[in-house]
Structure 1
Amino acid sequence: MKASTIKTVGILTSGGDAPGLNAAIRALCISGKNNYGMKFIGIRNGYRGLIDNDTFKMDTIDLEPLISQGGTILGTSRVKPFKNPVPDPKTGLLPVEGIKETFKKNKLDALVCLGGNGTNTTASLLSEAGFNVIGMPKTIDNDIVGTDETFGFHTAIDVATHGIEAIRTTAKSHSRAMVVEIMGHKVGWLGLYAGLAGRADVILLPEIPYDIKKIAKYLKAKKAKGQNYFIIACSEGAIDLNEAALSKKEFKKARESMSQSVGFRVAKEIEEATGIETRTSVLGYLQRGGDPAPYDMILATKLGSAAADFLAEKRFGNLVAVKNGSIVATPLSVVAGKVKEITEEEPVLKTARDLGICFGD
C-alpha cells in the first residue's frame, strides 16, 4: 500500500444522471482503499447533500455490482451553492458555510465531484474557496472543455442510434420523413455521432444554423432520384438562421414561447416546404437512462481509478480528463463556465459532410 496523507474523501454526483456514474464511484472507492487506505463518504443528492450533511459511509454497501448499474447510487440534484445563495432557514448558514460544516463533521480531506459543466463549474468555485476538490467528467453531451471524452456519451450514442434505426422502418413503410429529436441543448455531439451512425439524411445541430429552404431542396432532389423516406436527426437545441441572429435574451424568449420542442417545428417546416408527410419522435430521457455500455464501464473505471491517484498526489483543483488516449489533469478553472462546441475542423463532422449528409447550411 502506498503512503497518502489524504485519508477521508467525500464523493457526490450532481446534475443529470448518466450511465457510468456508478462504475466510476466503484473504481474510485476500490482503488483508493486498496492502494492508499482511503475511506470514502457518500454524499446524497449532489451539492444539496453536501450543504445539509446528508452522508453515509461507502464501506456499508457492496461496490462490486456497481460497474454495470445505471443511474447513481448517491442520488443527484441540480442545486448550485454559489447561485443566489440564501441562508438555510433552520441553521442560518449560507451554503458555503454549510459545506464547511460537512467537511468538518466528516473529517473530509478532499471531495470528488462527478458531473458535467455545471457540476465542475461549482467544483471550480469550491476550489477557489479553499476546498480540496477534484472533478470527473460525466455527461452524455460530451461537451466538457479540456477532455476528449466523457463517460455516458458512448452509451447515449448507442441508444440514440438504435432509436433512429427503429424509426427507419416506420419511415420506410409509410414513405415519410421522420424527425428524430436527440438530446443536446447547447451542443450537438450526440446528434452528430448518432446521426452519422444511424445513416440520417439530415443532421441539425446547435452549432450550425439551418436554412429550411436548403433542407427542402436537398430532400426534393433525393426524392426525385427515387428515395421515398427520409431521416432527420435533430438536436433539441438546433437553431435556424433567424434564431442565430437574435440576442441571447431574444432567443430565450422565443424558445419559451414555443408550444412544442424544436423537432416538431422542423417537421412542420419540412412538410410545408416539400409536401412530404413528416412526423416527429422525441427520444428524450431514454438516451441517458439504463445501464452503461461496456465502453463507458471501462472509461468510467479508468477515470475513477485515476482519481484515487490524483487524490494521493494532491492534484486538487483539476478535472480527471482524457487527452489523446491518456489521462491528464485539466484545471477546473479552464473547464468552468464553458462548453466544448463542434467546429468545422471536427473530423466526424467532416466525414459526415464528405458522405453527403445535409446540415441545412
Structure 2
Amino acid sequence: MSITNRFNIEQLGESQFDSPIKLSTTKGDNLFDFVSESDRLVFDLSLAHYNHCLSTGEAPICLQQAGPRQHIYFNSKEVTAAIVTCGGLCPGINNVIRGVVMALHYFYGVKRIIGIPYGYEGLNPEKGHGFVELNPEKVRDIHQFGGTFLGSSRGGQDVGVMVDTLQKNHVDMLFAIGGDGTLKGVNAIGEEISRRNAKISVVGIPKTIDNDIDLIDESFGFETAFDVASPILRDAHNEATGAYNGISIIKLMGRDSGFIAASASLAMPVVNFVLVPEMNFSLEGDNGFLKALEQRLEQKKHAVIVVAEGAGQELFKNRKEIKDASGNIKHEDIGVFLKEKIGDYFKERNTPVTIKYIDPSYIIRCAPANSSDSVYCSVLAYHAVHGAMAGKTKFVASKVNNKYVYVPISEVTKKRKKIDLEGEFWFSVLQSTGQPFFLG
C-alpha cells in the first residue's frame, strides 16, 4: 500500500439506502450538512509537508472525515448491532456504550442491540455468558458510574469461533471498545469476516487510560485519569511536607507510556520528580536519582515522586519476561522497589526520612468520566455509529489534529504512542518539577 492511501477505509459495498437522519446538503441554511465521502482532512499540517507537496505535485496524506453520510449501506430497520468492552477498566466506557445505543436507536431506528458480556469471552459460546439485550431505558443512567456495564476480560478467543457467533446471531456490526490488544483483536475478526465474504462492519473505539494509541490525539478516559490523580498528588505533597525529610512516592498507571504521570504532575505542580518508561535513569552515581533526591531533601526537607508503573524496569536484575492474558509484559513493581532503595540509601547515611507509598491506580481507572471526557465519549460513539451504518469496517473513530476522523485499525496498532523526550510536553514537565534533565 502506498503512503498516499495508507488511511483508506475499507467499505463493505455500495451505500444504497437513504439515511433516516434529516440533514442538509446545502451550505448556509443553518442546518448541519451530511459528510461527503470526498471530505478529507490533511494529516501532516507542517509547513515542510506543505512545501514538499507544492514542489513535487504530490497530494497530501489525508484522513477521511467522520460524520453522518447521506446514503448508508445497511437498511437500518433490519440491523442487529453488538457492543463489546475488553481489557482493563477505564473512565468513560459506560458513556461510550450509552452513546452507541442511543445513536443506533434514536438516529437510525435500530431495534436490536446486544451487549457481549465479559469481553471477547462473550463471543465464545463455551463460556456460557449469553447476551444482554440493550435499549435506551437499560443504559439511560450508566454514564454516571465507572467500570463497564457489560463486564470485561483480557485475552483473545478463537477468531473463527467469534465470527461464527456473530454470523449465527445475524450481527451486522460489532463495536469493540478497548485499547491496543482489543483493536488488534477486532481487526483480526474483520479479516476473518472478509475471508468469508461476510458483510459485517467491525469498529474500534479507542479506550486506554495510558493514552498510548498511536496517531490519534487522545484516547477516551485519559483526561479523567490525570484529573482524578491530581488531587491525590496534592494530598501526597501535604503528607510529605508534614514530616522532616518527608518523601511521598505515588505510582500511577502507564505500562509503556508515561502520559498520566506527566500530565497529572503538570496539572498539580507540587511534584519534584517524574519517572516514566520513556526515560532511562540510574539510581546510583553523582548524577543518579538518589543523589538528586538527597540534594532535594537538603534544600527543601521534602520531596514528591511520581512514577509510572512501567518506569525503571531496566533496574531489575535477572528479570524474566512474563506476559498477561492480553500479551502485555508484566512489569516488576517499581513503586515498592523505589521505596526500598530510597530507604536503604538514607539509612546507610544515617539520614532520617519518612517515606509514604501510594498506589491509587485501581481507584483512578474505575472513576466515572469527567465532563470533558463525557463529551468526548459521546461524540466518539456517534461517529462510530455513523461510520458503521455507512458500511465502513476495520476502522477506529478518533480525533486527529483536533478533528474527528476515521483511521484504519491497522495503522493505529503498528506501535505504541510514547512521550517524546525532546518534545515541548516533556520539557514542560521538567520545567514544572525542576528535576535534572538526565538522571544517570
Structure 2 counterparts to residues 45-64 of structure 1, below 5 A: 45-52=118-125, 54-59=130-135, 61-64=137-140
* Alpha-carbon displacement from aligned partner over 1:286-336 (angstroms, at most 9, x marks no partner): 110122111111111110011111112222111111112111112111233
The answer as to 2:282 corresponding to 1:230 is: no
* Alpha-carbon displacement from aligned partner over 1:73-117 (angstroms, at most 9, x marks no partner): 111111302xxxxxxxxxxxxx33332332223211111100011
The aligned residue for residue 92 of structure 1 is: none
Residue number among 364, 379, 383 corresponding to 1:302 in the alignment: 379
Q: Which runs of 5+ in 1 are unaligned?
A: 82-94
Conserved 8 A contact 1:211-1:240: no
- Aligned with 2:168: secondary structure? helix
* Alpha-carbon displacement from aligned partner over 1:184-234 (angstroms, at most 9, x marks no partner): 122211111112223210011111011123223322333333x11100001
**Alignment size in residue pairs:** 339
Q: Percent identity?
A: 27
Matched AA of 2:409: L
- Deviation beyond 4 Å, 4+ runs, structure 1: 240-243
- Aligned with 2:215: secondary structure? coil
Conserved 8 A contact 1:117-1:337: no
- Aligned with 2:115: secondary structure? strand
1-side partners of 2:263 and 2:136: how far apart? 40
Please identify, of 266-275 and 104-113, the stretch whose mean Cα deviation from structure 2 is larger.
266-275
Are residues 313 and 185 of structure 1, via their aligned partners in 2, closer, same or farther at CA, if it must alter by over 3 Å? same
- Aligned with 1:32: secondary structure? helix
- Aligned with 1:41: secondary structure? strand
Conserved 8 A contact 2:93-2:177: yes
Conserved 8 A contact 2:279-2:421: no
The answer as to 2:156 corresponding to 1:80 is: yes
Q: CA RMSD in A?
A: 2.4
2-side partners of 1:344 and 1:79: how far apart? 32
The aligned residue for residue 81 of structure 2 is: 9
Structure 1 or 2: larger helix share? 1
Are residues 360 and 160 of structure 1, via their aligned partners in 2, closer, same or farther at CA, if it must alter by over 3 Å? farther
Conserved 8 A contact 2:190-2:202: yes
Distance apart, 1:44 and its partner CA: 0.9
The aligned residue for residue 212 of structure 1 is: 283
Pair member with larger Rg: 2
2-side partners of 1:223 and 1:45: how far apart? 48
- Aligned with 2:96: secondary structure? helix
2-side partners of 1:346 and 1:301: how far apart? 31
Matched AA of 2:172: D
* Alpha-carbon displacement from aligned partner over 1:36-62 (angstroms, at most 9, x marks no partner): 222421111111101227213212743
1-side partners of 2:186 and 2:84: how far apart? 11
The answer as to 2:435 corresponding to 1:357 is: yes
The aligned residue for residue 97 of structure 1 is: 160
Residue number among 98, 104, 111 corresponding to 1:26 in the alignment: 98
Please identify, of 46-55 and 320-329, the stretch whose mean Cα deviation from structure 2 is larger.
46-55
2-side partners of 1:240 and 1:183: how far apart? 14
Conserved 8 A contact 1:4-1:36: no
Conserved 8 A contact 2:163-2:189: no
Conserved 8 A contact 1:20-1:152: yes
The aligned residue for residue 157 of structure 1 is: 226
- Aligned with 2:182: secondary structure? helix
Distance apart, 1:241 and its partner CA: 5.5
1-side partners of 2:263 and 2:119: how far apart? 29
Please identify, of 291-300 and 262-271, the stretch whose mean Cα deviation from structure 2 is larger.
262-271
Structure 2 counterparts to residues 274-353 of structure 1, below 5 A: 274=346, 275=351, 276-336=353-413, 338-353=415-430
Matched AA of 2:289: I
The aligned residue for residue 214 of structure 2 is: 145
The aligned residue for residue 89 of structure 1 is: none
1-side partners of 2:184 and 2:414: how far apart? 6
TM-score using structure 2 length: 0.72
Conserved 8 A contact 2:101-2:136: no
The answer as to 2:169 corresponding to 1:111 is: no
Are residues 350 and 293 of structure 1, via their aligned partners in 2, closer, same or farther at CA, if it must alter by over 3 Å? same
- Aligned with 2:135: secondary structure? helix
- Aligned with 1:233: secondary structure? strand
The aligned residue for residue 177 of structure 1 is: 247
- Aligned with 1:135: secondary structure? strand
Conserved 8 A contact 1:268-1:278: no
Residue number among 119, 122, 140 corresponding to 2:185 in the alignment: 122
Are residues 129 and 345 of structure 1, via their aligned partners in 2, closer, same or farther at CA, if it must alter by over 3 Å? farther
